[in-house]
Amino acid sequence: MVTWSEMDALILDVMGGHALATQGNVLISVQRNLVSADVLEQDYAAAKKLLQAHRTGIGQLVVLEADAAAPDEGAQAVLARWNSDGEATVLARVVVHMASGFPAEELRAIALILSRDGRLEHPDHVCESIGEGVAWLTTELTERGAPCPMAPELLHAVRELRKRLIPPVTRLEVERI
């Protein structure tokens, strides 16, 4: 199993509700609140750096917690710039929104539309469970010829990152995934 020390933790902003780490060639981003331009700029910069270390390609796993809000206009502009930047190309990106119901479906639809802007060559996947997201991501990266951490390692890395980001009151819920 992956330990916190084996993951490259890049950002852990508990107050801002954003965590960012890498596991092998996969960028893991967890967002608890509004997805802002500042947050996406941090993810974008990390993707560029990760791609320099993994020239065969990188993947991204984005986890939007139940209370996360849709990206603001600034974030949408950053995402459009990122999607058209060949120096930060993500071979496979999955967005997992942890909520349910109509508002969650609406946010997943917005995430899918925004993620495809300028990225028709490598479409993203949007789903509602981390297990489904990890399975899709590992399959996509493998099919595209990029190495990928094993699914149990990625699941454990996401669990550890979420555990450190989410206030202690809700940690029991996170540990059940």
Residue spans of the domains in the chain: they are 4-175
Q: Which two tokens stand for residue 108?
A: 């997943």
- Residue 165's closest CA among 43, 58, 10? 10
The residue-averaged pLDDT of 134-148 equals 94
pLDDT category at 133 given cuts 50, 70, 90 is very high
d(CA 146, CA 54): 9
**pLDDT in the model for residue 25:** 95
d(CA 98, CA 104): 8
List of residues 6+ apart from 41 with CB closer than 8 A: 78
Helices and strands, counts by H and E, the chain: 6, 6
**pLDDT in the model for residue 1:** 46
> Over 60: is that where the pLDDT of 114 sits?
no
The owner of tokens 């071979």 is 91
Average pLDDT score, the chain: 81
pLDDT category at 138 given cuts 50, 70, 90 is very high
The owner of tokens 């990890």 is 134
pLDDT category at 120 given cuts 50, 70, 90 is very low
List of residues 6+ apart from 167 with CB closer than 8 A: 14
- 29 compared with 83, residue with greater pLDDT: 29
Per mean pLDDT, which range of 28-37, 135-144, 153-162, 166-175 is the poorest?
166-175
- Provide the β-strand partners of residue 60: 27, 93
- 29 compared with 109, residue with greater pLDDT: 29
**CATH number of 4-175, picked from 3.20.20.150, 3.30.750.24, 1.10.240.10, 1.10.3210.10:** 3.30.750.24
